[in-house]
């Protein structure tokens, strides 16, 4: 038996390695496509649906460490399905829930493949940065009318890149900004020019989106990232480098934004958008008034009112992810979502400063996720593809840590 099985094992090993490499490349392609969502269904949905199905055939494994993520997302979806039962007319509501279910599945998928091989994290972030830089350049060039079809990359005189909405385009760039910033602060100086160029493109994209949520999110993420890095690194020299480079980067970005403000079009829109509270925020049935009324109404609707019904009762959508979970997923969905966010952030915090190969990616994803939870108070993040990617990264890194501890414990028990 040994003589027969050994050659088979030798043959299968390189085949499995080849399948793993191809699979990792396809994952990177899927992440790259997440930056191009001009129409729905986007190429991302089509590609990822096929990829998840294909990966399942080759043994996609959901470990015990990832099972809570799957369970909470299933409860969230059960709440959404129950909300459909109270709707007089379903219209496109079932499709909305189908998209929610698909995005939930992508979070579990990313967590599982990251647990399988932590090296995929670098591929994921590299692909995310590539997509972010390209879509940001499309937004910037489109804003100034420097490319054919420029109108396709702007909306209401705001850059939106290859997205449908500037308010999604800007937040999509946050994690790539942090990834490039981390590389700039930790890697050799000879690699700095390329990262600085990428940061400049992303910063201009965020600025020209004229999304107050995106501005606040990116600023918070950069500051929080630097703070966490200062906590982790014990070397005084390294801390000094972080502070000096961060200061130089801030001055460089400020100079670039000052140059952009020389445009009368940019300056006028910035003056308008920089007001903390707009008329449609604080007015009658404005954003905050709708939040108040919506939460009071939801206390009497345990099954919610169904997806996209809120906008038929009020001038606009909920623009609050907590209210969205109540109206579209009911009380069950709200509790599941709240538990999911609290559990995810707690998991990331527990392992945030450990010295692991995947620690930088966990740190970036965790910081960015906190920022997204914050802006969720004034905007819907329910169907943001990269939000579910962030969930998958944090849970995948936590699963890696649990596996690492099990292996270390097993090694200690096996040693004489």
The residues pairing with 159 across neighbouring beta strands, listed in sequence order, are 154
Per-residue pLDDT at 277: 55
What single-letter DSSP state applies at residue 37?
A: B
Do 120 and 114 touch, CB atoms closer than 8 A? yes
Taking CA 377 as the corner, what is the angle to CA 372 and CA 382, rounded to the nearest 5 degrees? 60
Per-residue pLDDT at 276: 56
Do 344 and 391 touch, CB atoms closer than 8 A? yes
13 φ/ψ angles, rounded to the nearest 5 degrees: -60, -50
Do 301 and 328 touch, CB atoms closer than 8 A? no
Do 124 and 78 touch, CB atoms closer than 8 A? no
The residues pairing with 37 across neighbouring beta strands, listed in sequence order, are 163
Quote the tokens at residue 205.
Answer: 């994209």
Per-residue pLDDT at 9: 42
Distance from CA of residue 100 to its chain's centroid? 15
Per-residue pLDDT at 339: 98
**pLDDT tens, residue order, the chain (416 aa):** 333 344 444 445 565 666 678 888 999 999 999 999 887 778 899 999 999 998 888 778 899 999 999 999 999 999 999 999 999 888 889 999 999 999 999 999 999 999 999 999 999 999 999 999 999 999 999 998 999 988 899 998 899 999 999 999 999 999 999 999 999 888 888 888 899 899 989 999 999 998 889 999 999 999 999 899 988 877 777 778 877 877 877 787 777 777 767 776 677 666 665 555 555 555 555 667 788 888 999 999 999 999 989 888 887 788 899 999 999 999 999 999 999 999 999 999 999 999 999 999 999 999 999 999 999 998 889 899 999 999 999 999 999 999 999 988 877 777 66
With both helix axes pointing from N to C terminus, report the angle between 192-208 and 212-232 in degrees, rounded to the nearest 10: 150
User: Where do the H-state alpha helices sit in 299-358?
Assistant: 310-313, 321-350
Q: Please state, in angstroms and rounded to a whole number, the distance separating the CA atoms of residues 127 and 132.
A: 8
Q: Tell me whether residue 387 is exposed, middle or buried, using C-beta atoms within 10 angstroms of its C-beta: 0 to 12, 13 to 18, 19 or more.
A: buried
Q: What number of other Cβ atoms are within 10 A of residue 285's Cβ?
A: 12
138 φ/ψ angles, rounded to the nearest 5 degrees: -60, -40
Distance from CA of residue 121 to its chain's centroid? 14
Biggest alpha carbon–alpha carbon distance for the chain: 80
Question: Would residue 330 be called left, alpha or beta, if left means φ above 0 and alpha means ψ between -120 and 50 degrees?
Answer: left
Q: Please state, in angstroms and rounded to a whole number, the distance separating the CA atoms of residues 74 and 89.
A: 24
Quote the tokens at residue 35.
Answer: 């930056």
145 φ/ψ angles, rounded to the nearest 5 degrees: 65, 30
């Amino acid at each position: 038996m040994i003589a027969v099985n050994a050659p088979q094992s030798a043959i299968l090993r390189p085949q499995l390695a080849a399948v793993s490499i191809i699979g990792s490349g396809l994952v990177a392609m899927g992440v790259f496509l997440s930056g191009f969502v001009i129409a729905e269904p986007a190429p991302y949905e089509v590609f990822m649906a096929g990829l998840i199905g294909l990966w399942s055939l080759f043994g996609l494994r959901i470990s015990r460490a990832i099972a809570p993520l799957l369970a909470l997302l299933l409860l969230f979806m059960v709440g959404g399905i129950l909300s459909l039962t109270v709707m007089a007319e379903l219209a496109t509501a079932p499709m909305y829930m189908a998209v929610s279910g698909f995005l939930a599945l992508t979070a579990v998928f990313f967590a599982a493949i990251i647990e399988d091989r932590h090296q995929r994290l670098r591929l994921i972030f590299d692909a995310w940065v590539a997509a972010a830089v390209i879509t940001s350049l499309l937004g910037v060039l489109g804003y100034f009318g420097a490319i054919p079809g420029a109108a396709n990359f702007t909306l209401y005189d705001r850059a939106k890149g290859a997205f449908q909405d500037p308010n999604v385009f800007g937040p999509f760039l946050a994690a790539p900004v942090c990834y490039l910033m981390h590389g700039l602060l930790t890697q050799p100086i000879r690699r700095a020019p390329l990262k600085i160029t990428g940061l400049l493109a992303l910063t201009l994209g965020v600025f020209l989106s004229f999304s107050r949520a995106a501005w606040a999110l990116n600023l918070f993420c950069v500051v929080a990232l630097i703070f966490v890095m200062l906590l982790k690194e014990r070397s005084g020299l390294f801390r000094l480098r972080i502070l000096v480079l961060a200061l130089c980067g801030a001055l460089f970005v400020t100079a670039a934004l000052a140059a952009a403000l020389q445009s009368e079009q940019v300056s006028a829109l910035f003056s308008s958008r920089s007001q903390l509270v707009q008329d449609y925020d604080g007015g009658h049935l404005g954003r905050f008034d709708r939040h108040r009324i919506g939460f009071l109404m939801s206390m009497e609707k345990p099954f919610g009112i169904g997806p996209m019904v809120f906008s038929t009762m009020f001038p606009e959508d909920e623009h609050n992810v907590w209210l969205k979970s109540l109206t579209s997923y009911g009380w069950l969905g709200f509790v599941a979502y709240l538990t999911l966010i609290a559990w995810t952030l707690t998991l990331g915090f527990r392992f945030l400063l450990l010295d692991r190969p995947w620690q930088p990616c966990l740190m970036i994803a965790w910081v960015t996720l906190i920022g997204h939870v914050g802006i969720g108070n004034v905007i819907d993040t329910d169907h943001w593809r990269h939000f579910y990617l962030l969930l998958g990264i944090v849970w995948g890194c936590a699963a890696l840590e649990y596996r690492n501890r099990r292996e270390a414990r097993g090694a200690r028990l096996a040693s004489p």
